[in-house]
Amino acid sequence: MRAVVQRVATSSVSVDGAVTGSIGKGLMVLIGVEKEDTIRDAEYIANKVSALRVFDDENGVMNLSVQDVKGDILAISQFTLLGDVRKGNRPSYFQAAGPEEANDLYRKTVELIEAKGIHVEEGVFQAEMMVELTNDGPVTILLESHKLF
């Protein structure tokens, strides 16, 4: 499972012109599910996202998590994170999980984050979405449950 985590001042997602999720201070998280992913991958991503210390403390040091600052999370499923462009210029999505499996693990990841007391807003699975954000920093973190990077 892969995730792109951005610290945001604000972020929102819309489908067909209607806002489906919107947050203020917090994290915008794009989540891609791979074929071989299991509940362990969902747990890894949920735990990392919840505990990432990317918010400044009173000394201006990134030492606080989204939980510490009482921020929210905007979660968006994004299979294109699994795009492989090592051969040619058109991404191959061979490693992306099928829709049913991907949605199940995406949903589980969101549920695990919410179980930690973090408010989560969402996009719409398999919809074409318009995402807006104000990246705060900018701070962007890449997560990979298989620890490739």
Distance CA 141, CA 45 (A): 12
Question: How high is the pLDDT of residue 147?
Answer: 76
Token code pair at residue 1: 């499972």
| 50 Cα distance to chain centroid | 11
Alpha-carbon gap, residue 65 to 142, rounded angstroms: 16
Q: Going residue by residue through the chain (149 aa), what tens digit of pLDDT does each one get?
A: 999 999 999 999 999 999 999 999 999 999 999 999 999 999 999 999 999 999 999 999 999 999 999 999 999 999 999 999 999 999 999 999 999 999 999 999 999 999 999 999 999 999 999 999 999 999 999 999 987 65
d(Cα 78, Cα 12) in Å, to the nearest integer?
A: 15
The catalytic residue positions are 78-80
- For residue 149, what pLDDT is reported? 58
Q: Are 57 and 8 in contact (CB under 8 A)?
A: no
Q: Give the residue from 75, 119, 91, 96 showing the smallest Cα distance to 33.
A: 96
* C-alpha–C-alpha distance, residues 49 and 5, integer Å: 7
